[in-house]
């Protein structure tokens, strides 16, 4: 694969599930279980994030930058507990956590991330 090639997956009229370019992977996750609390949504999303990373030659250890959006400021402490338990030791990415309204009021968290991909033969 040419390093300059941009590879998109899950592309719709509005977004792509992932965009890979020059050894980097860009992705965003939103919860599917909208009736769940912050803990359940966070665990669901981190599981989806780990799978999407693995499917794209990356992993949580290779996260470079993460932006977390929380509409309810009181959810930060609980989210941080789950995040810290999920993230491998000594692999914390650059991180910002923003208190902001999300497009669906039932979403308790949204995560946007950038990760390094492993060099692969495909």
The domain spans of the chain are: 6-116
> What is the model's pLDDT at position 122?
46
Domain at 6-116: CATH code: 3.30.1330.40
Q: What is the pLDDT of residues 98-111, one digit of tens each?
A: 999 999 999 999 99
Residue 119 has pLDDT above 90, yes or no: no
| pTM over the 0.85 mark | yes
Query: What is the full DSSP assignment across the chain?
Result: --TT-EEEES--SS--SEEEETTEEEEEE--S-TTS-HHHHHHHHHHHHHHHHHHTT--GGGEEEEEEEESSGGGHHHHHHHHHHHSPTT-PPEEEEEE---SSTT---EEEEEEEPPP---
């Amino acid at each position: 694969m040419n390093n300059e090639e941009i590879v998109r997956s899950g592309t719709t009229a509005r977004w792509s599930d992932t965009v890979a370019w020059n050894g980097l992977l860009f992705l965003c996750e939103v919860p599917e279980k909208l009736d769940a609390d912050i803990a359940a949504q966070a665990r669901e999303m981190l599981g989806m994030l780990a799978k999407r990373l693995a499917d794209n030659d990356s992993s949580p250890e290779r996260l470079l930058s993460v932006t977390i959006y929380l509409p309810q400021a009181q959810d930060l402490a609980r989210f941080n507990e789950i995040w810290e338990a999920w993230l491998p030791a000594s692999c914390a990415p650059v991180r910002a956590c923003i208190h902001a309204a999300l497009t669906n009021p039932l979403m308790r968290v949204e995560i946007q991330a950038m990760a390094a991909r492993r060099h692969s033969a495909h």
